[in-house]
Structure 1
Amino acid sequence: MGVQWVLVCHGLATLVVVVSFLCGQWPIFRGTPIQSLHYFLTFGAYDYFLRCVGYVFGNKGTNFVYSVEHACCDRPNPVLQILYLGIIGGVYYSIVTSSFSYIPGYYLSEVHIYTSFLAVGVGILLFVLTSFSDPGTVTPENVSEFLSAYPYDYIIYSEKECSTCKFLKPARSKHCSICNRCVARFDHHCGWMNNCIGEKNTRYFMAFLLWHFLLCIYGTIAIGLVLAGRLKELRIVYILTVYYGIDDSIRSLAPHVVQTFKWQDYISWQRKLNEAKASAAALKASINGLNSEPKPAESKWRAFFRRSPLQDAEVVAKRNVYDKGFFHNVWEIILPLSTRRSFFRAKLKSS
């Protein structure tokens, strides 16, 4: 049973790391180990690494690390692209070698072998489209059309010349220091794609993220059904229920399965759970009996989801001219302005 516990611990550790990395800066985690782990993952670990390198190898070692960082993060390079393909290929290979021998199974048909290959193929296709498509490069030849498509609001964006390209920067554009080009409706430079994400390829990037999210869900469910099918085919539940002399059901079998792991831990957990319920009931009764007591401090969860007082304040800023509503904004991602007929008509007029 040691392997199962290793997998459970690995899953919990992965969950903690992911939550800490993505959400550790949220107010709800302020002053908690999650915030500390977030700081360590995003800054502390690299800082400690640099200190260790400097202590062992001196300034030459530190400068070498900085040069590698500059080459990998501040210049176009395919390192993360190769890493992505390696991760996708390695994971899919491990699934093929470990799970495909059980397909078709009790819950999965043979078609899932082909749909899984198709799903991974579509993900790689979206990756290629995002990586090698034009993000919406602004040039002296098309800058006037982008200026017409994205007017200035004179709040966030106003007339300003790009110091590198030497022409007026259209609103919502930015000069990418890594790619050394101005990009219309610039979002960010993605190292995984080795490309900027801008007006023309945001649709591919969003499709890539959505598809991989669905791919993870599909893979999780499929592997779960493979495991469930093996339990069914080997009649594990039936054998255990006969062994323990109980009803043929997962619910009645659960306490005995836990006992298989460690009965004393299960009993201790049940005792602590009952004590916690009793304490909560006593605390609730005492609070109800002390109406004159001051209101308890608001929990972090309630504070996080509470309506912001700024939402009730008087609106003093002008309307955001770039916020055209949810559906129009999504449609602008799917069909960028530079691909529409109006953009080409403006181009013809300017020429």
Structure 2
Amino acid sequence: MSLHWALICHGLITLTIVVSFLCGQWPIFQGTPISSIHRFLTFGAYQYFLRFIGAVFGDRGTNLILSVEYYCCDRPNPILQLIYLAIIGTTYYIIVKTSFSYIPGYYLSEVHRYASFLAVAVGILLFLVTSFSDPGTVKADNVSRYLSAYPYDNIIYTEKECPTCKIPKPARSKHCSLCNRCVARFDHHCGWMNNCIGERNTRYFLAFLLWHFLLCIYGTIAIGLVLAGRLKELQIVHVLTVYYRVDNSLRSLAPYVVQWLLDAHNTQILLMVFMGVVSLLLAGFFAYHANLCLTNTTTNETFKWQDYISWQKKLIEARASTAALKANIAGMTTEGKPRESKCKSFFRQSLLQDTEAIVKKNVYDKGFFHNLYEVVFPVSTRASFLHTKSKSG
């Protein structure tokens, strides 16, 4: 029984650490232990480690750690790519070793031996395509076409030159400091792909997230059906109700069935928990990026809009404070002048709020179907884009 509790505690601790590391910065977790664990994992633990290295090995040890950090965090490297391949390869290997001996089974046919391999192979293929595809690099020979394809909105994008590439920066593009290139319709730099996600490979990135979400769901359900088949084939419920006189109800049978599963198939249970948690995280990431694509926004632009709206709010508040101050001064200097009515004051406040709403308008959002079409068929892959190239040449 102690082994069962150890496995349960191990699963809960693993789940807490994974959720804290990946989601601890979310607003919903602010002020909770999840947020504190996230700060410790992402900042505090590393700082304590640096202090320990400095105390034991001196500046030479600290400089060595900082150089490793620079390579891992500030330069393109395949570390996370190798970790991804290790995770998916190890997980599939454990599934094969622990579950394939029960396939075909009571609920699963032999086709799942080959379907699972095909599903993993497609996932790895999408990973490779996303990792090594061109995200939409802006160069001197195509910058004029990107300038035509993505006009400036003069709100968050204005005409300027990239100080590194020394070429005009099309709207929605960004210079990636890790890849050292300008990327059209830049979304973010993905460490797992060791590549930028931009105009040409956003579609592959979304397909990667969706496919791996479905892959985790498929794996979880398949293992669940394997375990359900084992319960049926070994007649565990029949043995419990007939020989051990356990009441034939879900409440009475559940503890014994769970105990048997943890004892006989604890590896499969841990795999199901792992894939279930990963599927939830992938579902969140996919939903977030799908919503961005359907509104024709990028991750980079969400931060730009937040900064711009914050600046606009401060500007509006400053103007309102200035106007109120002028009104007070005018009221003190002008005797007998009636004060501004509450209705007029409310109307002016509403007008300011309407002004704030106007500046939030995304001029690149041209409707659901157009936005989806732009992601699936990027601008630079269309005949009109190539035709502009021949004309400009």
Is the pair's TM-score, using the shorter chain for normalization, greater than 0.5? Answer: yes
Conserved 8 A contact 1:237-1:250: no
- Name the Cα RMSD after superposition: 2.3
Whether 2:142 is the aligned partner of 1:142: answer: yes
Q: Percent identity?
A: 74
Give secondary structure in 1 for the equivalent of 2:358: coil
Residues 224-239 of structure 1 mapped to structure 2, 5 A cutoff: 224-239=224-239
> Quick one: which amino acid aligns to residue 233 of structure 2?
E
Whether 2:371 is the aligned partner of 1:332: answer: no
Aligned to 1:26: 26
Aligned to 1:94: 94
> Quick one: which amino acid aligns to residue 9 of structure 1?
C
The 2-side partners of 1:44 and 1:64 are apart by 19
The 2-side partners of 1:115 and 1:3 are apart by 34
> Quick one: which amino acid aligns to residue 16 of structure 2?
V
> Quick one: which amino acid aligns to residue 216 of structure 1?
C
The 2-side partners of 1:164 and 1:54 are apart by 35
TM-score, normalised by the number of residues in structure 1 = 0.80
Q: Which segments of structure 1 move beyond 3 Å, counting only runs of 4 or more?
A: 1-4, 246-252, 254-260
The 1-side partners of 2:7 and 2:246 are apart by 28
Deviation at 1:329, TM superposition (A): 2.2
Aligned to 1:130: 130
The 2-side partners of 1:128 and 1:138 are apart by 22
Aligned to 2:212: 212
Aligned residues: 302
Whether 2:208 is the aligned partner of 1:166: answer: no
Residues 1-351 of structure 1 mapped to structure 2, 5 A cutoff: 1-254=1-254, 313-314=353-354, 315-317=357-359, 319-351=361-393
Deviation at 1:245, TM superposition (A): 2.3
1:240-263 deviation line (CA, Å, top 9, x unaligned): 112342444434423666899xxx
Range with greater deviation from structure 2 (17-26 or 146-155): 17-26
Q: 1:25 to 1:71 in 2, by over 3 A?
A: closer
The 2-side partners of 1:218 and 1:256 are apart by 26
1:21-70 deviation line (CA, Å, top 9, x unaligned): 23323333222211101111221122221121112111111110111111
The 1-side partners of 2:182 and 2:255 are apart by 63
Deviation at 1:124, TM superposition (A): 0.4
Conserved 8 A contact 1:160-1:169: yes
The 1-side partners of 2:244 and 2:258 are apart by 13
Give secondary structure in 2 for the equivalent of 1:175: strand
Deviation at 1:195, TM superposition (A): 1.3
The 2-side partners of 1:170 and 1:258 are apart by 58
The 1-side partners of 2:94 and 2:183 are apart by 39
Deviation at 1:336, TM superposition (A): 0.6
The 1-side partners of 2:83 and 2:385 are apart by 38
Q: 1:17 to 1:331 in 2, by over 3 A?
A: farther
> Quick one: which amino acid aligns to residue 337 of structure 1?
V
Deviation at 1:228, TM superposition (A): 1.3
Q: 1:259 to 1:318 in 2, by over 3 A?
A: closer
Q: 1:4 to 1:240 in 2, by over 3 A?
A: same
In structure 2, the gaps of 5 or more residues are 261-312, 314-349
The 1-side partners of 2:187 and 2:256 are apart by 54
Higher helix share: 2
Q: 1:206 to 1:64 in 2, by over 3 A?
A: same
The 1-side partners of 2:111 and 2:379 are apart by 40
1:109-155 deviation line (CA, Å, top 9, x unaligned): 11111110001000000011011111111110000001111111111
Conserved 8 A contact 2:4-2:259: no
Deviation at 1:326, TM superposition (A): 3.5
Q: 1:28 to 1:74 in 2, by over 3 A?
A: closer
Range with greater deviation from structure 2 (340-349 or 44-53): 340-349
> Quick one: which amino acid aligns to residue 40 of structure 1?
F
> Quick one: which amino acid aligns to residue 184 of structure 1?
A
In structure 1, the gaps of 5 or more residues are 261-309
Conserved 8 A contact 2:54-2:61: yes
The 1-side partners of 2:380 and 2:34 are apart by 43
Q: 1:100 to 1:2 in 2, by over 3 A?
A: farther
Give secondary structure in 1 for the equivalent of 2:175: strand
